[in-house]
A = this chain, B = another copy of it.
């Protein structure tokens, strides 16, 4: 197919597609003659993957490149592919610096993981991501209850099992690697969106829609 059809099939503007080519994210098509290049289904798939990472998953161009490079290298062990996807995602969040509060938050997240018998390394970027969130709560003097943290850990564990279950249904190694990356990137917004929906439902149960806030008591 021509580049114009490729652009349409992948749902990506022609100018954006050319930008991705200049950045080296997509390989060129087969040259048919001096003026025409042929693209096929593999190009459509590749562009859809790029779109999922950049536009839906919100990765930076640098992080997407790193992830794609790992995917393209079939010699990379699967566990390492996972790590690269996780690190790319972690890069989206600015680190909170080295405050005392962050150290406390980190220790509590580690304790939470240990109490569940999770086997995790010190380098797992999830540690900093979760600790950063917990630090933000502690910073406004909101100390989450053990029940709250357990509920989130339960939710995370159930989602992670579903992720791995989906992977175990695939047999082709390149498909497993691709789903690892895309599932890691897109599982977050999937959960985030569903949580908003569930929150609205739960809010209606607990707070009346028309309740007006009163003046705060000193």
Q: Majority SS of interface residues in chain A?
A: helix
Q: Which chain B residues lie closer than 8 Å to A89 at the CB level?
A: 192, 196
Interface size on A, residues (CB 8 A): 121
A48-B139, A126-B194, A127-B193 are known contacts. Are A58 and B93 too (CB-CB below 8 A)? yes
Q: Is A174 an interface position by the 8 A CB rule?
A: yes
* Residues of A178-206 whose CB lies within 8 A of B: 178-179, 182-206
List the B residue with the shortest CB-CB distance to A49: B140
Closest chain B CB from A209 CB (angstroms)? 5
Sample of 18 A–B contacts (CB below 8 Å): A76-B212, A77-B213, A79-B209, A124-B196, A129-B193, A129-B196, A130-B192, A137-B182, A140-B179, A147-B162, A148-B162, A148-B165, A152-B162, A155-B156, A159-B195, A167-B206, A175-B216, A184-B196
Q: Which residues of A contact B (CB under 8 A)?
A: 11, 45, 48-49, 51-52, 55-58, 74-79, 81-82, 86, 89-90, 92-94, 96-97, 99, 101, 109, 112-113, 117-121, 124-137, 139-142, 144-145, 147-148, 151-169, 172-179, 182-217
